[in-house]
Structure 1
Amino acid sequence: MKIVIADDHAIVRSGFSMILNFQEDMEVIAMAADGIEAYQMVAKHQPDVLLLDLSMPPGESGLVATGKIKEDFPETKILILTMHDDEEYLFHVLKNGASGYMLKSAPDEELLQAIRVIYSGGTYIHPKMATSLVRELVNKDHKVKESDPFELLSKREIEVLPLVAKGYGNKEIAQKLFISVKTVEAHKAKIMEKLQLKSRPELVEYVLKKKLLNF
């Protein structure tokens, strides 16, 4: 199987590459340092599996890249690799099309197992996180959960949100995302409306609470 590795740490990419290339049924064909490069490598090589780090500051995160890559290259299976054992991240990436979610602290054997599972069409979730997922599904059967307004945001709005929180101006955000200033203003207005926020301090507080600042 052809594999692309996306992680912002070169030593992590090299380590994973050595482990995978040692396997008879795996070959690492490209590597990337952030979500944008990951998209480019997937577009160029059409891999069977993409190992995607969730957080890759200051570049585009796996949280944002997952939806874009899955939408344009549905045949590529995405395995999220992360240090975050946070169920909100788990739910979001699975909703965006990821086939697996595992912690970087897991042993090598689990990584290999996860890759083979998702390559064959299955879904792999780290046991610790699977418990949270099952609990969430069970809870949905017993009570109606209040919807999270974050789920209403578009992929582009998810990109704009942390940049606004970091204090970037409209022009700077437009340059970073290759869109017009008017488009940025429109996205900001939609974000404030969807999240029911009235000021930038409230927005910053929301981003910090959701642990989205690095994204």
Structure 2
Amino acid sequence: MSTRILIVDDQAMVRQGFGALLAAQPDLEVVGDAADGAAALDAAARLAPDVVLMDVRMPVMDGLEATRRLLHDGGDRPRVLMLTTFDLDDYVYEALRAGASGFLLKDAPADELMHAVRVVAAGDALLAPSITRRLIADFARRRATDRPSPAALSALTPRETDVLRLIARGLSNIEIAESLVLAEQTVKTHVGRILAKLGLRDRAQVVVFAYESGAVVAGER
């Protein structure tokens, strides 16, 4: 079954360019596009995409508000992959808080675009690139206060807490397995339990939770 994609960007050339690249892949299907957040909500309701490529800055309704509205009630919602540039740190963080599964730079090579869509469609989050780690760490340094760890943290086992902290630093399952000397499948099991216990959607939300709860402090190793 192919992954259904909705492209949302106020630049027609971006929509057409991304659309052509993605549509050429046998496992990806571009079901529509939209030029602003309001039109994106309407298109998503009609087309039921699996993944939405969402620009941050758009007229009428920006991508951040559109993402909030699209994902606000949970359930069987599409994955949102934000399209952004280097200078949007706060916007990216807020998008992750709203439920976006990661982000992609608009000038990313074609293979990165296709990889990102597949990663997000598979239920993972696009958190490995160093740019993501920098954005999260920068936000945490600027805004973190002394927050008590929420009660939800106490539900995690020590090993699950270790895995959570490594996820928050942007490590993949393979890297976590190597760091903790575990089998990759064991790490996947831990990740699934963390998501279930904390009631989180994906790894992107694990990162946000880890920093906001104080489980991870920016800059610590």
- Per the normalisation by structure 1, the TM-score is 0.61
**1:73–1:48: structure 2 CA closer, same or farther, 3 Å change rule?**
farther
Q: Decide which moves more: 32-41 or 117-126.
A: 117-126
Residue 150 of structure 1 is matched in structure 2 by none
> Is this contact kept in 2: 1:81–1:103, CA < 8 A?
yes
Residue 40 of structure 2 is matched in structure 1 by 38
**1:129–1:93: structure 2 CA closer, same or farther, 3 Å change rule?**
same
Residue 19 of structure 1 is matched in structure 2 by 21
> Is this contact kept in 2: 1:20–1:28, CA < 8 A?
yes
Residue-pair matches, total: 143
Residue 158 of structure 2 is matched in structure 1 by none
> Is this contact kept in 2: 1:4–1:51, CA < 8 A?
yes
Q: CA deviation at 1:63?
A: 1.1
Residue 115 of structure 1 is matched in structure 2 by 117
Note if 1:133 corresponds to 2:133: no
Q: CA deviation at 1:137?
A: 5.3
Counterpart of 1:10 (choices 9, 12, 18) is 12
| Structure 1 residues 103-157: Cα deviation after superposition (integer angstroms, max 9, x where no partner) | 112211111111111111111144323223145558888x638xxxxxxxxxxxx
| Structure 1 residues 84-110: Cα deviation after superposition (integer angstroms, max 9, x where no partner) | 433211210000010111211221111
Question: Counterparts of 1:121 and 1:138 in 2: how far apart (Å)?
Answer: 29
Q: What SS is found at the alignment partner of 1:47?
A: coil
Question: Counterparts of 1:140 and 1:84 in 2: how far apart (Å)?
Answer: 19
**1:104–1:17: structure 2 CA closer, same or farther, 3 Å change rule?**
same
> Is this contact kept in 1: 2:119–2:125, CA < 8 A?
yes
Question: Counterparts of 1:38 and 1:69 in 2: how far apart (Å)?
Answer: 9
| Amino acid aligned to 2:130 | P
**1:73–1:115: structure 2 CA closer, same or farther, 3 Å change rule?**
same
| Amino acid aligned to 2:63 | G
Residue 69 of structure 2 is matched in structure 1 by 68
- Per the normalisation by structure 2, the TM-score is 0.59
> Is this contact kept in 1: 2:93–2:139, CA < 8 A?
no
> Is this contact kept in 2: 1:85–1:103, CA < 8 A?
no
> Is this contact kept in 2: 1:43–1:73, CA < 8 A?
no
| Amino acid aligned to 2:132 | M
Q: What SS is found at the alignment partner of 1:64?
A: helix
Question: Counterparts of 1:32 and 1:66 in 2: how far apart (Å)?
Answer: 14
Residue 106 of structure 1 is matched in structure 2 by 108
Stretches of structure 1 that go unaligned for 5 or more consecutive residues are: 146-215
Stretches of structure 2 that go unaligned for 5 or more consecutive residues are: 148-221
